[in-house]
């Protein structure tokens, strides 16, 4: 698991706060590789931290700044949304997952680490979805 051209889904980042030590270590190792993320990932992580973990808005904002410095950040464009709609139709992704997949494709990533999507699915002959916790 040492690919540098990777993209992280929000569910991987959230394992930084999990009690399962092995999964937490995997998430830390992937973030140390300076992966790509987009705004959708930060919004999803922030929402979980705010609602489930009861973080303050200041704590969420601090974590966002930390992730923006640890990861290669990208926004969401009109192109991403159009591509997400296409990917939803072609691969039957959930819409918000498709925005993340679209971001990974636009960033030129070869791997998307996600626990929620089909393990080893190859999208558009470019991007392989890998569940980094598959053997945990």
- How do residues 24-73 score in pLDDT, each as one tens digit? 999 999 999 999 999 999 999 999 999 999 999 999 999 999 999 999 99
pLDDT of residue 2: 46
What residue ranges in 2-136 does DSSP mark as E strands? 6-8, 36-38, 72-74, 111-113, 122-123, 127-130
Express each pLDDT in 83-92 by its tens digit.
999 999 999 9
Residues 67-82, mean pLDDT to the nearest whole number: 95
Name all contacts of 115-121 with Cβ < 8 Å and 24+ positions apart.
115/9, 115/11, 115/12, 116/9, 116/11, 117/9, 117/93, 121/91
Q: Which backbone phi and psi does 122 adopt, to 5 degrees?
A: -105, 125
pLDDT of residue 136: 75
* pLDDT surpassing 90 at residue 21: yes
pLDDT of residue 4: 59
Pick the closest to residue 28 from 57, 71, 59 (CA basis): 71
Domains and CATH numbers, the chain: 6-130 (3.40.50.1010)
- C-alpha gyration radius of the chain: 14
Distance between CA 52 and CA 69 in Å, rounded? 24
The Cβ of residue 49 has, within 10 Å, a number of other Cβ atoms equal to 20
**pTM for this entry:** 0.93
């Amino acid at each position: 698991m040492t690919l540098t051209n990777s993209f992280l889904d929000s569910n991987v980042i959230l394992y930084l706060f999990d009690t399962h030590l092995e999964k937490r270590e995997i998430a830390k190792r992937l973030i140390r590789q300076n992966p790509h993320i987009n705004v959708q990932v930060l919004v999803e992580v922030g929402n979980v931290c705010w609602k489930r973990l009861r973080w303050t808005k200041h704590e969420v904002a601090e974590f966002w700044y930390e992730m923006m410095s640890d990861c290669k950040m990208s926004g969401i464009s009109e192109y991403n949304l159009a591509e997400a709609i296409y990917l939803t139709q072609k691969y039957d992704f959930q819409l918000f997952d498709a925005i993340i997949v679209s971001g990974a494709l636009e960033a030129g990533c070869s791997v998307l680490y996600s626990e929620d999507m089909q393990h080893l699915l190859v999208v558009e002959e470019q991007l392989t979805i890998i569940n980094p916790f598959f053997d945990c």
